[in-house]
Amino acid sequence: MDHAQVHTSMDKMIKMFDTKMAEFQAELNQATRKNPSTIAALNAEFQTFKAFVCNGLNVLRGEVKALARGVDRIEMKSRRKMLLVHGVPEKKNEDIASVVTSSLSAKIKVPNFNVDCLRTCHRMGKVTNNSGKLRPIVLKFTDMAMRDSIWNTKTALKGSKITVSEFLTKSRHSVFMAARDKYGISNCWTRDGFIFIKTPDSAKQRVESLAELLVLPAPTANVATVP
C-alpha cells in the first residue's frame, strides 16, 4: 500500500467514525430527553471517549503524513543521480545506452559524455503497438558531476523533440503537474527534486507536497497551461 492509499484509508476511517458517532450522539440525545437521570452519566462518558478517539485519530493521521513525507524524501534522494529523457526514437533490439548518449551528444556538447558515464539505462513502461508514443528513458549516472552537466545544459535541446526532466517520485510528480495547471508551465520548474513556483507576487516558492502548494496565493488571472 503506497502513501496515497494510506491517506485515503485514514480519511475513510475518520469519516466513518464521525458518521457513526453523530448517529450515536443523536440517539443518545433522544434517550437523554426521555430518561435524563439514567443517561446523563453515560452521555458524559461517551463525550470523553469520543474526544479521546478523535484526538488519537488526528495524531495517527499526522504521524502517517510525517512518515510518508520521510519515505518520499528518502526515495527522492535515491534518485538524485537520475534523469529522464523523453522523445528519443525507439527501435526494436536497440542499444539504449548508445542511442540515448548519441542523441543527447548531438545537441548537448558535454565533454566526455558516453555510455561509461551511465550506471544503468532503461526505458520506462511496457512496449505498446502505438508507434507514436515513445517511452521515456531513465538514466542513472555514475557521478553527480556528469548528471549536473547534462541537466544544466538541457536548454540546448530546445527546438528538438528531445527533453530532459528530473525523475520525480510519484507524489512529487503529481504536485508538479498540479502546480503547472495552477500557475502555468513557464512559472514552474524543478531542481534537486523540489518544485519551484513563481507566484503572482513574483516571489519564488519551493514546495514538496500538495498541502504546501494549496496554501500558496492563487493566480490573479488565467495562465496558459500549454507550451
**Each residue of 78-131: pLDDT tens digit?**
999 999 999 999 888 899 999 999 999 989 989 999 999 999 999 998 877 666
Per-residue CA distances from 3 to 63, 91, 173, 220 (Å): 12, 36, 14, 32
| Complete DSSP assignment for 121-178 | EEE-S---S-TT-PPPEEEEESSHHHHHHHHHTGGGGTTSS-EEEE---HHHHHHHHH
| Cell numbers at 59, concatenated | 495524531
Specify the pLDDT at position 26: 77
Specify the pLDDT at position 11: 74
Residues 47-62 have a mean pLDDT of: 79
Specify the pLDDT at position 48: 78
pLDDT-based confidence at residue 59 (cuts at 50, 70, 90): confident
Specify the pLDDT at position 157: 93
Global confidence as pTM: 0.72
Q: Name, in order, each residue with C-beta under 8 angstroms of 14's C-beta and a sequence gap of 6 or more.
A: 57, 61
Specify the pLDDT at position 116: 95
Specify the pLDDT at position 226: 40
Specify the pLDDT at position 227: 39
Higher pLDDT, 214 or 51: 214
For 219, the 3-state DSSP assignment is coil
Per-residue CA distances from 159 to 2, 154, 156 (Å): 38, 11, 8
Question: Quick one: angle between helices 36-78 and 170-183, nearest 10?
Answer: 90
Specify the pLDDT at position 145: 95
Residues 141-149 have a mean pLDDT of: 95
**Nearest to residue 3, comparing CAs of 184, 216, 174?**
174
Specify the pLDDT at position 67: 86
pLDDT-based confidence at residue 224 (cuts at 50, 70, 90): very low
Specify the pLDDT at position 129: 67
Per-residue CA distances from 17 to 28, 29, 45, 177 (Å): 16, 18, 17, 33
Q: How many whole angstroms separate alpha carbon 196 and alpha carbon 216? A: 12
Do 160 and 150 meet the contact criterion of CB atoms below 8 Å apart? no
**Each residue of 168-221: pLDDT tens digit?**
999 999 999 999 999 999 999 999 999 999 988 888 999 999 989 999 988 865
Per-residue CA distances from 197 to 20, 29, 136, 177 (Å): 42, 51, 25, 12
Q: Name, in order, each residue with C-beta under 8 angstroms of 227's C-beta and a sequence gap of 6 or more.
A: 185
